[in-house]
Chains A and B, each alone.
Chain A
Amino acid sequence: MTISSTATTTDAPLTLDDLRTLGEPIAGGQPTGDPAEAWADRKLHYKLVSPLNRRKFTVIVVGTGLAGAACAAALGEQGYNVHSFTFHDSPRRAHSVAAQGGINAARARQVDNDSLARFVKDTVKGGDFRAREADCWRLAEESVRVIDHLDAIGAPFAREYGGQLATRSFGGVQVSRTYYTRGQTGQQLQTAASQALLRQVAAGTVTLHTRSEMLDLIVKDGVASGIVVRDLISGEIWSQTGHAVVLATGGYGNAFFKSTLAKNSNVSAAFRAHRRGALFASPSFLQFHPTALPLGSDWQSKTILMSESLRNDGRIWVPVAPGDPRAANDIPEAERDYYLERRYPAFGNLAPRDVASRAARDEIEAGRGVGPLQNSVYLDFRDPLARIGRTVIEERYGNLFEMYADATGESPFEVPMRIAPGAHFAMGGLWSDYDLMTSIPGLFVGGEAGWAYHGANRLGANSLLSANVDGWFTLPASIPNYLAPLLGTPALPADDMAVIRTVAETEGAVQALAASPGTQGPDRFHRRLGEILYARCGVSRSAAGLSEGIRLIRELRADFQRDLRVAGTAAGFNQELERAGRVADFIDLGELMCLDALDRDESCGAHFRVEHQLADGEAARDDDNWAFVSAWERRPDGRYRRHAEPLTFESVRPQTRNYKTS
C-alpha cells in the first residue's frame, strides 16, 4: 500500500536509539465499557467536598484564557480558595480572543442528522484515530450546556431571523454545528469568561494575579504543591502553594516564531512542569492552518489567520499553468484548478485542515503558487458574491475582509484573497489521564495546553469547545475528587525546603539569564528556530530532515548559550528577559518535537512523513504499530524516554480517512 515504508536513519548523523529509550506503557484511566457512558459513570463515582469545607482548599489556576478563567471562576463559585495567574495585564486578553470562526456543539437541533455519536465520529476521524475516544464522548456530551452557559453569561451568539441560535459548517464536518458571534467568537467567549472570573474576584473567592508569570512548579514528595512566580513589574520572585495546580496556559505553536498565535503565547509553564516530571504527549502534532496570510516581509510579525469559516463560501484555486503571470481576475474559468473540489469532491473546500494544507503545499511546490513570492493560493469570493450578494457576505465575513484589506492593501470584494499554510494549533500538550490530571499527582491541565481530544489533527471550532468544557465542567468535577481525601492536610508552608529550594533555583536561573553576555537578543534565536522547524518539522517531514533538524537545533542552542544578550536587569519590568526564558524553552521543545516526529514512523493527521504515503499521496497511517499516544519523559540528564498509551476504539471503527466520497 505504501510507496516506501522504511525510514532509513542509518546514514543520518543521529539515530533514534541515540536519542531515546523506550519506557513502560501507561494507562489513561478511563472507565471501561461503553465510552458513551464513561463520563456519567465517572461523575457518579467522583468524591465530593462539602460546601463548608471548600474554603479550606487552595487551588492554583495558571492562565486566564477560556480554560483557565472558566476553571477559576467555576471553582470560585463552588467556594474553593482560588489563586489565578496570568502574565497578561488583564484576564480579558488571553490568546483565546483571536479565535474567529466559532465553537462546535452537538446540540443537534436541526434535521441535518447530527448527534452526539456523529460528533464523536467526526472528532475521532478528524484526529486520524490518535485521540482518546472516551474523552471525545465527554466533549460531545458537555458541549450542549456550554452554549447555554456562555449565552447566559453574555456571549451574544448570532441568531437566525426567527430568534434561534444560528450555526454554520466547519472543515471536516458535513453538518452545521458551529455556533458563532460574527468573526469574533473567541473574543466574545473570552470577555464573558473573564467577566465571570472578575465576579469571583469581587466576591473574594478568587485572588487574581495579573502580570505574574509562573516560572516553575513546586513538587514535594512527587506531588504538585505550588508554583514559583515572577512579578513582571517588580521582578520579585515569589511562591504560591496550594492543594492542586491547574495549568491552562495555552498552546505552543509559537515555537515556529511565525504563527497565527498571539505574540506572547509560549510553552514555558507546561515545559517547566515537564522538566519536573510531567509527561509530554505528542509534541509533534502541530496543525498548520490552510488559510493564513502568506509572508510578505522579513519583519512581518506573524502569519495572521483568515478564519476557516471563509471556506464555507470562498473557493480555493490556483492557475492550471505553473507561473501564470496574469492577474487572478484575468484567468478564465477553464484555466483555474479548484483543486480541493477536484481532489475531494465530497468535502470540497471544507476538507479538513491537514488535508487542505498539504494540498496547498503540493500546488505551491509544483510551481502553481500565486502572489509575488509564489507562496500562496487563491481563496475567491467571486461566485458567492454573485450568488448571494455583497450584503450577506459582508455580514458573514465583514471584519475578516477588513482585516485582510488592512494587512495586504487588497479588497477581497475585488480580487481573491491569497492564503498559505501557517503554524496554528498544538494538538499535543501535557499528557493527562481521563480526569485531566497529568503524570504528577495534583497537577491538572486544561485547554490547549493539554492533549486529549484532537488526536493528530483538530477539527475547526473544537478547541474553543475543549477549553470551555475543561474549564467550566470537567476540572470543577475532577479536582474536588482529588481534593476530598486531602481534607485536614494544610497546603505546603512557604518555609518548606521544597519551596525554598525551588524559589532559589528559579532566582538563580533568572539571574544567569539576565547576565547573558552575548550580542543578540532572544528574538533572533527564536526566528532561527522557526525557520528550522518550518523546514524540518513542518507540513511534511522526513527522517533525514528531522535528524538534521535536531542537529541544527543543538547548534542553535549552543549559539544561544554563547551569544544571547538580555538587555536590562532581573529587577523590574524587562520584556527581553521574559522572551529569553521563553525562547530557551522553545528551543528544547523544538528538539523534542523533531524527536517525536522522527520516532513516529507513520503518517497520521497533521504529521505527514513522506516515507509513508499512499499511491495517491494521502497519509498512510499504521494502526498495527502506532495506535498509541507517545508520552515523553524527560530524564534528569535531559535524555528522553518514550512511554505509550495504547488507543482503542469502541464506537468509531478505525478506517482510512476518506474525504473524497464520504
Chain B
Amino acid sequence: MKLTFKIWRQESTAVHGRFESYDLEGAGAEFTLLEALDKLNDQLVSTGKEPVAFDSDCREGICGSCGVTVDGQPHGPVANTPSCRQHLRSFPDGSTVVLEPFRSGAFPVVKDLAVDRSGLDRIIEGGGYVSLAAGTAADADAHPVSHDTAEAALDFAACIGCGACVAACPNGSANLFTGAKLMHLSLLPTTAVERGSRADGMVEAMDEEFGPCSVFGECVQVCPAGIPLTAIAGLNKEKLRAVLRGRGK
C-alpha cells in the first residue's frame, strides 16, 4: 500500500518544529506503524536525508517506550493499543497520516517524535515505592493474599508508564498514572503500610508538574494497559484517607 506521512520534525527542545510530508510505498497492511517508520527511515537515509527520531524498544506493548500521536490520537486509531501494536490496516490505502509527538506541557520534545517523560519518574520518587531493604522481607507465604486481591492489584500494576493518559488529557493530568500506582500498592498487605505518606508524596510531586483532573475520561480511551477510571477514584480516596488519618498512616 501507499501512504503519505505528515510528520512533526523538530531538531531539539530549544528550537521550533514544523511538519514535513513523505510518501511511503510498498508497505503492507500487516506492518505495524513503527515498522512503517523503520521502512520510511531506511528510505530517508539511503536518499541522504535525516531519519525521523522516535522512541521504541520492546515492540510488543509492554515497555511503554513508544508513543506517537496519530491523527490527533495518542498512540493511534485503535483504542487502548500502544503505537508499536497499531497496524497499517487501520488506514485506507493512499491516505495521509499525521504523526506528532505526545503533546503535553509536561513532556518537552527531545527530537521529532521523541519526548521527555521523566516527570512520571519524579512522581514515583515522591513515594511510589516500598521502604524495605533487601533481605529483610518476611516469608511471602506467611501473609495470604486472596486470589482476587492479587488479580485486582495486578489490574492496576499493569500500567506501562507510556504517558498517553497525560497526552490525551486536555489538562495534561497524570491522575490515571498516579492513581494506578496508589491503587496497586494499597491493595497488597506488605505494600499498604505506607499508604498515607505515599499518597501525600506522590500527589505533591504530581501537582508540581502536571495539570488537575476534571474526570473527562479521555485517558482511559487511550491507555494501552486498560487502567480503569476507578484508579482516579482510588487516588481521590487515598488522598482523602491521608488527610483524615494524618500523614504517614
Q: Tell me, yes or no, whether A159 is within 8 Å of chain B by CB.
A: yes
Q: Which of A557-587 contact B (CB under 8 A)?
A: 565, 567-568, 572-573, 575-576
Q: How far is it, in angstroms, between the C-alpha of A195 and the C-alpha of B201 when the chains are bound?
A: 14
Asked whether A149 lies within 8 Å of B117 as measured between CB atoms, the reply is no
Q: Which residue of chain B has its CB nearest to the CB of A395?
A: B151
Q: Which residue of chain B has its CB nearest to the CB of A87?
A: B57
Interface centre among A109, A187, A524 (most CB of B within 10 A): A187
Q: Tell me, yes or no, whether B240 is within 8 Å of chain A by CB.
A: no
Q: How far is it, in angstroms, between the C-alpha of A463 and the C-alpha of B218 when the chains are bound?
A: 39
Asked whether A161 lies within 8 Å of B129 as measured between CB atoms, the reply is no
Asked whether B138 lies within 8 Å of A97 as measured between CB atoms, the reply is no
Asked whether A159 lies within 8 Å of B120 as measured between CB atoms, the reply is no
Asked whether B138 lies within 8 Å of A152 as measured between CB atoms, the reply is yes
The minimal Cβ–Cβ distance linking A152 to chain B, given in whole angstroms, is 4
Chain B 38-61 per-residue mask, 1 if CB under 8 angstroms from chain A, else 0: 110110111011110101111111
Asked whether A90 lies within 8 Å of B118 as measured between CB atoms, the reply is yes
The minimal Cβ–Cβ distance linking B114 to chain A, given in whole angstroms, is 7
The minimal Cβ–Cβ distance linking B170 to chain A, given in whole angstroms, is 25
Asked whether A154 lies within 8 Å of B185 as measured between CB atoms, the reply is yes
Q: Tell me, yes or no, whether A157 is within 8 Å of chain B by CB.
A: yes
The minimal Cβ–Cβ distance linking A606 to chain B, given in whole angstroms, is 23
Q: Which residues of A contact B125 (CB under 8 A)?
A: 198-199, 201-202
The minimal Cβ–Cβ distance linking A472 to chain B, given in whole angstroms, is 5
Q: Which residues of A contact B53 (CB under 8 A)?
A: 573, 575
Asked whether A147 lies within 8 Å of B140 as measured between CB atoms, the reply is yes
Asked whether B111 lies within 8 Å of A88 as measured between CB atoms, the reply is no
Q: How far is it, in angstroms, between the C-alpha of A540 and the C-alpha of B44 when the chains are bound?
A: 37
The minimal Cβ–Cβ distance linking B79 to chain A, given in whole angstroms, is 13
Q: B129, B146, B185: which contacts A163 (Cβ < 8 A)?
A: B146
Asked whether A233 lies within 8 Å of B145 as measured between CB atoms, the reply is no
Q: B51, B158, B188: which contacts A184 (Cβ < 8 A)?
A: B158
Which secondary structure dominates chain B's binding surface? loop
Q: Which of B109-167 contact A (CB under 8 A)?
A: 110-111, 114, 116-118, 120-121, 124-126, 128-135, 137-141, 144-147, 149-151, 153-154, 157-158, 160-161
Question: Interface size bucket, B side?
Answer: 35 or more
Q: Tell me, yes or no, whether B64 is within 8 Å of chain A by CB.
A: yes
Asked whether B140 lies within 8 Å of A165 as measured between CB atoms, the reply is yes
Q: B111, B147, B184: which contacts A154 (Cβ < 8 A)?
A: B184
Asked whether B150 lies within 8 Å of A157 as measured between CB atoms, the reply is yes
The minimal Cβ–Cβ distance linking B226 to chain A, given in whole angstroms, is 10
Chain A 473-499 per-residue mask, 1 if CB under 8 angstroms from chain B, else 0: 100100000000000000000000000
Q: Tell me, yes or no, whether B190 is within 8 Å of chain A by CB.
A: yes
11 contacts across the A-B interface (CB closer than 8 A):
A89-B118, A154-B130, A159-B150, A162-B144, A163-B144, A164-B141, A187-B158, A195-B128, A300-B35, A473-B134, A520-B46
Q: Which 10 A-B pairs have the closest CB atoms?
A: A163-B144, A152-B137, A151-B140, A521-B45, A195-B129, A199-B129, A156-B153, A159-B150, A148-B137, A262-B57
- State the B residues within 8 Å of A (CB): 11-12, 27-28, 30-32, 34-36, 38-39, 41-42, 44-46, 48-51, 53, 55-65, 81, 85, 110-111, 114, 116-118, 120-121, 124-126, 128-135, 137-141, 144-147, 149-151, 153-154, 157-158, 160-161, 184-185, 187-188, 190-191
- State the A residues within 8 Å of B (CB): 70, 73-74, 77, 88-93, 95, 97-98, 107, 109, 145, 147-149, 151-154, 156-165, 181-182, 184, 186-188, 191, 194-196, 198-199, 201-202, 210, 233, 262-264, 296-297, 299-302, 304, 403, 406-407, 409, 472-473, 476, 519-521, 523-524, 565, 567-568, 572-573, 575-576
Task: A159-B144, A159-B150, A406-B61 are known; give 9 further A-B pairs, CB within 8 A.
Answer: A74-B134, A148-B139, A154-B184, A156-B187, A162-B144, A195-B130, A301-B35, A472-B134, A573-B12
